[in-house]
Structure 1
Amino acid sequence: MGTKIVNRIMLITGLISLLHAAFSAAHHRTYLRLTEQDWTHLPVDVIVQTVVSLLVVVYNLIQVVGNFKEIRATVDMQEKSWDTLGNLPSFYTFNHRGMALYQNYEAEPTTNIGNKSSLDVDY
């Protein structure tokens, strides 16, 4: 739990440092325009701050987000059996409107085998 907080703090610090580097680059460009100098390149400290900040942000973002999943779907499917692949519980219907069509509908009496009605689903 403690490392997640440290990673989040480092992520926020890296983002602030990256914004500061962008502001420094814009400020340097404005300075060159005011002094009528030609723009050749950014100062080394701004470039180093940008690269280090970017690396800190990328690393801590990966740590904060968590575990990645495999891109290939076959990796997740290799662990599942054929029975679980065809199992779609969202399509199970127990109370459906077919019962409303029969006004004098009565549930079937339970059998002695397992005390289940014919409407019960076996898993």
Structure 2
Amino acid sequence: MPATFIHRSILTVGFLSLFHAAYSAAQHRSYLRLNDLDFTHLPLDIFIQTLISLFIIMYGVLQVAGDFKEIKASADLEDRTWETYRNIPSFYTFSHRGGKCSQLASKSGLEEIE
């Protein structure tokens, strides 16, 4: 399911709400410092707003991210043949010791006779 404007809007609202909860928590801490009160816990409304914002953000991210793939490795590899498993270009090595050996042999006068 593609990400629509509604899903992106939900995600934006979630982030704005979480930012507001963080700002409210910081404002509460500064209020406690000004009145020389001890910090014991956040007020319940800030805590609830943070949890709701977190769930809204999780829902928005799940909708915007798109379809998930299966965790099983065999799910992606079922339609491949055995030859494609052996042919992996990232394992190709072109800078092997054969080039160094041939340079040493040509410098020492041990060139191949044809």
1:20 aligns with 2:14: no
Distance 1:25 1:85 in 2: 54
Q: 1:85 offset after TM fit, Å?
A: 4.5
Write out per-residue CA displacement over residues 81-115 of structure 1, whole angstroms, 9 at most, x where no aligned residue: 335556779xxxxxxxxxxxxxxxxxxxxxxxxxx
Q: Verify the 8 A CA contact 2:21 2:50 in the aligned structure 1.
A: yes
Residue in 1 aligned with 2:77? 77
**Mapping of 1:17-96 within 5 angstroms?**
17-82=17-82, 85=85
* TM-score, length basis structure 1: 0.63
Cα RMSD (Å) of the superposition?
A: 2.5
- Cα separation, partners in 2 of 1:39 and 1:88, compared to 1, 3 Å: closer
Once the two structures are TM-superposed, the CA of residue 80 in structure 1 deviates from its matched residue by 2.6
Aligned length: 91
Query: Paired residue for 2:9?
Result: 9
Partner amino acid, structure 2, of 1:20: H
Question: Which amino acid in 2 is paired with 1:32?
Answer: L
TM-score normalised by length of structure 2: 0.68
Cα distance per residue 1:50-105 (max 9 Å; x no partner) = 0000000011101001011123322211233335556779xxxxxxxxxxxxxxxx
- C-alpha separation in 1, matches of 2:14 and 2:82: 47
Structure 2: tracts of 5 or more residues without a match: 90-114
Greater relative contact order (Cα < 8 A, sep 6+): 2
Shift of 1:8: 0.2
Percent identical across equivalent pairs?
47
Contact 2:14 2:54 (8 Å CA) reproduced:
yes
Residue identity in the other structure for 1:15: F
Contact 2:3 2:66 in 1 (8 A): no
